[in-house]
Structures are given as structure tokens and as C-alpha cells.
Amino acid sequence: MSFTAIERVAFRLFGARASHAVQREPTLGAALQRARMAVRPEVHLATAYLAATVTAVAALLVVVALAVLDLAGTLPLAWRFFILMVPAAVVLGGGAYLLTLVRPTARALGRARSINSKLPYAINYLSTMAAAGATPEQLFATLAEQPLYSEVAVEAQWVARDMRILGLDIVPALQNGIDRSPSEKWKDFLQGAVTTLTSGSDLKAFFAAKADQYLYENRQDQKKFLEGLGVLAESFVTVVVAAPLFLIVILSVMTSFGGSPQDALLIGYSLVFLVIPLSQLGFGWTIKVMTPEA
């Protein structure tokens, strides 16, 4: 297993600490396996420590540079700005740590969505192959060679690898696939295949029934997505369009009644350059996560 340059630096700096701390993160190894990330848990944890340290130090350096400019009179800033920025650097470091730490889980969830969307069509392919008389070993080995089914083919590759390279029978190979898959539907399908094989039932009939079931569930997911998208659109209009306009009107009224123009400008700049763009990015990311893959 080869390390990237960043992973090597991170492990040299934080390897000892990460090796001890990884024992408190028992789910990290499983998340990395489900995400198909070829990295050891302690290396990934060390990378999270490095990301947090670099982010916090960079933010503090920006604060120091602004303080120097303020003392020199080049860029006068209110003292409240520095009171907010110093803890913000620590928060940014913590955010970088958490984002790096949850990256395997997020990637595993993305793989699960891809598997769930392609699974009905992959099972139809398996059903056709089973009707042609292919053995269970040939079914998964052939599915593994079909890039059209994306992550489903990747999962099938691991099942085929267990049989071809490790010499396992089909049932133990499928059980290993159940343990390391991020998709509950794929796990359910493999468990059903194991039950069908061990009981001697008709594998073709099982594949056909599962394909119909997952196609129906995909249609239901599309309907739920459209309903949720309507609610999200109403929330977007309220939060990103109406609320900022209302706040700008309130700031104008407060300033006309003797409020501090500097504070109003600071709030206005924060609203225009920070709150609104972040809100738009948040809604865009939410829609991307919610959207079922075709």
C-alpha cells in the first residue's frame, strides 16, 4: 500500500498519536473499507490531524497579518473583529479535522447511492445470464467486467476476487461482500442470493423478483425527491431571498434612528459576501445529495 506525499508527512508528524487514537475510532476502518479507500485507519487519522493543524495555523497567520496592518494604520479594523477571528481559527481547524475524518463515510454514502441506482438493471443482467445457464460464479465474474453498472461492478469485482484469487466458494464470497458493502440494498440482495443458493431454490426467479422490487423502490424514491425539492425551493426563497431583504430594511431603519453606520456596514458586508453565498452553496449541496442518480 503506497502513501501519498501528504500522507507520508502526516504519518511522520502524527503517526504515534494516531496509532493510539485510532483505537477510539473503531468504525473508521470499516468506513474506509466501504469507501474503497486504500489507506490504513491510523494514516487517515494522522492526515486529519495535519489538515486541522495546517488550517488553524494558516488562519492564525492571516489574523496576525491583519493585526500588523491595523497597527501600521494601513487597514484600520475594529477590535471586535480580532476577538471573533482568533477563536474562528480554532473552529476552522476543528472543521478541517471533522471534514477529513468523515470523508470515508461521505464517500461510502455516495457509493451506496450509486449502487442503489444501478442495482435493478444489474440484477436484470444477472437474471438474463442465469436464464442462459451461467453458474453463480460466472454471474458475478461477468458482472464485474461491466463498467456500465459502475459501483455495482466494483462490488462484484471483490466477490469475483475472493473466488478467483482467494479460492473461496460462492457462499463465503457473498458473505464477505455483505460485510464490506455500504449499500443496504446490495447487502439484502446478496443475503437473499446466499439463502437461495443454500436452499436450492430457483436463482433466476429470485433475480427477477428482486429486480422488480428495486425498480419499484427507485420510482418511489424519485417521487419523494420531487416532493422534497418543492419544500426545499420554498425554504430557499424564504432564507436566501426574503430574509436578507428584510434584514437590509431593518439595518437601514436602525441606522436612520441613530444606529452605528459602521456596524450596519459590517453586518451588510457579512450578509452579502458571506451569509448569502454560503447559503446558496448549502442549498446547492443539499440538492446534489438529495438527487437520486439515474
Q: Are residue 121 and residue 212 in the same domain, yes or no?
A: yes
What are phi and psi for residue 168, nearest 5 degrees? -80, 155
Q: Is residue 159 scored above 90 in pLDDT?
A: yes
Q: Are residue 93 and residue 117 in the same domain, yes or no?
A: no
Position 176 scores a pLDDT of 92
Domain range for 46 is 5-107
Of 72 and 253, the one with more pLDDT: 253
Position 225 scores a pLDDT of 82
| 129-153: pLDDT as tens digits | 888 888 888 999 999 999 889 899 9
Q: How far apart are CA 228 and CA 199, in angstroms?
A: 42
Of 290 and 234, the one with more pLDDT: 234
Q: Mean pLDDT in the chain?
A: 85
Residue where a domain stops, chosen among 87, 107, 127: 107
The pLDDT-based confidence of 172 (bands split at 50, 70, 90) is very high
Cβ(89)–Cβ(44) below 8 Å: no
Please state, as a whole number, how many other Cβ atoms lie within 10 Å of the Cβ of residue 210.
22
Q: Are residue 198 and residue 211 in the same domain, yes or no?
A: yes
Q: How far apart are CA 18 and CA 28, in angstroms?
A: 12
The pLDDT-based confidence of 186 (bands split at 50, 70, 90) is very high
% residues pLDDT > 90 (the chain)? 26
Q: Are residue 186 and residue 268 in the same domain, yes or no?
A: no
Amino acid at 34: R
**How many domains are there within the chain?**
3
Q: Is residue 82 scored above 70 in pLDDT?
A: no
The pLDDT-based confidence of 73 (bands split at 50, 70, 90) is low
Q: Are residue 232 and residue 212 in the same domain, yes or no?
A: no
Per-residue pLDDT averaged across 65-85, rounded? 67
* DSSP class per residue in 100-144: HHHHHHHHHHHHHHHHHHHHHHHHHHHHHHHHTT--HHHHHHHHT
Q: How far apart are CA 246 and CA 255, in angstroms?
A: 14
| 278-290: pLDDT as tens digits | 888 888 888 877 7
Cβ(211)–Cβ(285) below 8 Å: no
Q: Are residue 262 and residue 172 in the same domain, yes or no?
A: no
The pLDDT-based confidence of 26 (bands split at 50, 70, 90) is confident
Cβ(245)–Cβ(276) below 8 Å: no
Q: Are residue 117 and residue 211 in the same domain, yes or no?
A: yes
Position 76 scores a pLDDT of 62
Whole-number Cα distances in Å, 261 to 4, 251, 265? 51, 9, 6
Q: Are residue 144 and residue 163 in the same domain, yes or no?
A: yes
Scanning the chain, the segments in alpha helix (DSSP H) are 5-21, 26-34, 41-72, 79-131, 136-143, 150-164, 170-180, 184-199, 203-236, 243-256, 261-270, 276-290
Q: Are residue 197 and residue 117 in the same domain, yes or no?
A: yes
pTM of the model: 0.74
Cβ(163)–Cβ(137) below 8 Å: yes
